[in-house]
Amino acid sequence: MSNESIPQLTAYDAAALDHAFAAVLQSVTAQSAQIGSAEDRERFRLEWLGRKQGRLKTLSETWLKAAPPEAKKAIGQRFNALKEQIEQALESGVPAAKAAGAVDAIDITLPGTLPGTGAEHPLIRTLHEVVGIFERMGYSVGVGPEVETDYYNFESLNFPPNHPARDTQDTLVVAGQQGKPLRERLLMRTHTSPVQIRTMEQQPPPLRIVIPGKVHRNDAADATHSPIFHQVEGLCVDTNITFSDLKGTLDHAMKELFGSSVKTRFFPSFFPLTEPSADVQISCIFCGGKGCRKCKHSGWIELLGCGMVDPAVFGFVREKQPAYDPKKISGFAFGMGIDRIAMMRYGIGDISLLYSGDVRFLEQFA
Ligand code: DAH
């Protein structure tokens, strides 16, 4: 700042001093109103409060030097007040004009950056829907371990050691367990059925339970197979439970899931844990039963396995829970693959999409 631009005091009465200081403050206010960034702010601070070249310092030196001794006190007080005003302008609060400058920097009228909304994964959503249908029929929900013993995964479900039914459910086994009896050896569960046994061991009949969960099999991955997939298991045990109860329950569940016009039919099948056993088919939801590529022109789609609980299964449970006496009680059970149901519901052609974590796929369900 050159000397020429420093205004000189010509009179020292209070009115003259007030007038001179008001002019300086006006220039402080005008400049602080221009502050729009951190850089502007620093420039403003240096210009006014800089230790060596700051305008406040130059002004006070010039004015005080020229002033008569009796005016120095009044001038000093006014400089102190001015310094505070400059600091305030710098801090923030002060001039309304400055607030206008800040609005330029943070424009509150601009649309904000929206955080992405999370959504339930289509698989989990389907799982919850299926579980919800059974909850509304009075079923409770159970869970069990994914690392399971040979006993719960196979033996207690009437898959004896070396029985060929085990071949359809090959899985990963925990290494180094040759020293243990077979029934204690650990493996990744191949179905949610072991939780049937675990639940019955804990609770006497009557029992109505659904068990959602992740299962593992040694299956080569392709568009319709994944070595990890999901099932919902069901079990109902009480006095006088019949195959009609099974049919009515599953028919209702399929209508809830796919719409009331869906028909079901039960085909004889085999599962070690049930006798008799059946595969449940629903009328094709894509063509309404006329026959199309999706149902291989049969009009029907196979969806789940079920049957009446085999007395041999109750036999295993009775070791711990004697109330499961097949002479007094009976039950039905079922198990369905959730991945396939989710793929049908949402028109997903490749199962691997359910496990890819690809946001472009997932955000379509948000
Ligand atoms: N656990 C069987 C599987 O994964 C499915 C199944 C069939 C479950 C019949 C059941 C049942 O509870 O009764 O292939």
Spatial separation of the C-alpha atoms in residues 69 and 51, rounded to whole Å: 25
Residue 46 lies in a domain: yes
Which has the closest alpha carbon to 306: 260, 364, 258, 248?
248
Q: Which of 50, 84, 99 is the last residue of a domain?
A: 99
User: What are the pLDDT digits (tens) for 106-152?
Assistant: 888 888 888 877 889 999 999 999 999 999 999 999 999 999 999 99
**Do the beta carbons of residue 212 and residue 143 sit within 8 Å?**
yes
43 by DSSP, 3-state: which?
helix
Measured in angstroms, how far is the CA atom of residue 306 from the centroid of ligand 1? 6
pLDDT value at residue 100: 46
Specify whether 85 is located in the same domain as 150.
Answer: no
Measured in angstroms, how far is the CA atom of residue 193 from the centroid of ligand 1? 6
Spatial separation of the C-alpha atoms in residues 24 and 4, rounded to whole Å: 15
Specify whether 85 is located in the same domain as 142.
Answer: no
Q: How far is CA 243 from CA 95, 160, 344, in A?
A: 83, 25, 27
| Of 273, 303, 314, 339, best ligand 1 pocket probe by most atoms within 8 Å of the beta carbon | 273
**Is residue 90 left, alpha or beta, with left meaning phi > 0 and alpha meaning psi from -120 to 50?**
alpha
Specify whether 32 is located in the same domain as 82.
Answer: yes
40 by DSSP, 3-state: which?
helix
Per-residue burial over 71-88, b if 16 or more Cβ lie within 10 Å, else e, is: beeebeebbeebeebbee
Specify whether 326 is located in the same domain as 201.
Answer: yes
Could you list the residue range(s) of the whole structural domain that residue 213 is in? 122-365
Tokens of 137: 């029929």
What's 143's DSSP letter?
Answer: -
| Of 193, 235, 267, best ligand 1 pocket probe by most atoms within 8 Å of the beta carbon | 193
pLDDT value at residue 116: 79
User: What are the pLDDT digits (tens) for 294-315?
Assistant: 999 999 999 999 999 999 999 9
Alpha helices by DSSP H, 114-168? 122-135, 150-153
Residue 267 lies in a domain: yes
Is the Cβ atom of 310 under 6 angstroms away from ligand 1? no
- E strands, the chain, where? 140-141, 147-149, 186-188, 207-216, 228-238, 264-271, 274-283, 300-309, 330-337
Spatial separation of the C-alpha atoms in residues 99 and 91, rounded to whole Å: 12
pLDDT value at residue 3: 46
Q: How far is CA 24 from CA 5, 27, 85, 86, 278, in A?
A: 12, 5, 11, 10, 95
Residue 106 lies in a domain: no
Phi and psi dihedrals of 360, rounded to 5? Answer: -65, -30
Residue 117 lies in a domain: no
Specify whether 218 is located in the same domain as 312.
Answer: yes
Measured in angstroms, how far is the CA atom of residue 17 from the centroid of ligand 1? 97
Tokens of 343: 């793929």
CATH classification at residue 226: 3.30.930.10
Specify whether 215 is located in the same domain as 261.
Answer: yes
Q: What is the pTM of this model?
A: 0.71
133 by DSSP, 3-state: which?
helix
Amino acid identity of 172? L
SS3 helix, strand, coil % of the chain, rounded to 5? 45, 20, 35
User: What are the pLDDT digits (tens) for 21-49?
Assistant: 988 888 888 888 888 888 888 888 999 99
Specify whether 145 is located in the same domain as 23.
Answer: no
Residue 111 lies in a domain: no
| Of 191, 280, 341, best ligand 1 pocket probe by most atoms within 8 Å of the beta carbon | 191
Specify whether 190 is located in the same domain as 81.
Answer: no
Q: Which of 57, 84, 99 is the last residue of a domain?
A: 99
Tokens of 211: 């068990």
Q: Which of 37, 66, 99 is the last residue of a domain?
A: 99
Specify whether 287 is located in the same domain as 357.
Answer: yes
Q: Which residue has the higher pLDDT, 22 or 328?
A: 328
pLDDT value at residue 92: 62
Spatial separation of the C-alpha atoms in residues 250 and 248, rounded to whole Å: 6
Task: Indicate the number of domains in the chain.
Answer: 2
Amino acid identity of 252? H
Q: Which residue has the higher pLDDT, 57 or 157?
A: 157
Specify whether 244 is located in the same domain as 288.
Answer: yes
- Is residue 230 over pLDDT 80? yes
Which atom number of ligand 1 is nearest to the Cα of residue 191?
4
Specify whether 74 is located in the same domain as 218.
Answer: no
Sign of CA dihedral 247, 249, 252, 254: negative
Specify whether 191 is located in the same domain as 70.
Answer: no
Residue 116 lies in a domain: no
221 by DSSP, 3-state: which?
coil
Residue 264 lies in a domain: yes
Residue 83 lies in a domain: yes
Spatial separation of the C-alpha atoms in residues 197 and 321, rounded to whole Å: 10
DSSP secondary structure string, 88-99?
A: HHHHSSS-HHHH
User: What are the pLDDT digits (tens) for 351-360?
Assistant: 999 999 999 9
